[in-house]
A and B are shown apart, each in its own frame.
Chain A
């Protein structure tokens, strides 16, 4: 067994096991006692095996904010998809591809991950390289610069209450 770097709270282990158990129920979709019991045992085993490496505590308020951020992101995805479709179907192909170096003002690992993932998920911009909080972004159109700034300020707003760790 690997050495544990930090003590594991039993509440967190229970929470993780319950999340895994709900996922098991979704996947198996059967409510016989044998299946439910096996799922309970396996979810506790997996939660215990994984508990050594996670420096992670549940932050419900942050997760709620991220959940509220997702519909806005989906609106941006629809907008830029229509823009990109117009560019592709245009007979003269008026694209201006370029690499944009961005130095973000985000101070959290999770925030940078969320930022890069949102940029890659939005069609027309893609994250090409990440180092700390310096990102290199490949974009398709001139107008994508403003969209990146907008996403960044939105994410900085989500993470404004947390301890900086970058």
Chain B
């Protein structure tokens, strides 16, 4: 079980790298915003898997709830701000 969870962690990190490529490369700023959103969803899952890897789910789960709520506020504020800008 431990090795399986370790493989899952490594794969999730590689997937975050794929989204990071989109954040760095993206032609428009909305691509970067989208990549940010994808990274934060992955980070929530990553925190939970780290929790069962170290057998301290009760601690990591509170962090992931807080992260999900903060992510909503940040992404929504950025999208509302960019909506008002005329030029990119």
Contacts and interface: CB of A to CB of B under 8 A. Distances in A.
**Direct interface between A and B, CB < 8 A:** yes
Contacts, number: 3
Interface string B32-69: 00000000000000000000000000100010010000
Contacts of B58: 29
A84 B58 CA distance: 35
B66 to A, nearest CB: 11
**Interface size of A as a range:** under 10
B41 to A, nearest CB: 14
Contacts of B62: 27
**SS class of chain B's interface: helix, strand, loop or mixed?**
helix
Interface string B4-20: 00000000000000000
A29 B65 CA distance: 14
A29 B61 CA distance: 12
Nearest to A28: B62
Nearest to B62: A27
3 contacts: A27-B62, A27-B65, A29-B58
A49 B63 CA distance: 27
Contacts of A29: 58
A27 B69 CA distance: 14
Interface in A21-48: 27, 29
A7 to B, nearest CB: 32
B29 to A, nearest CB: 17
B76 to A, nearest CB: 14
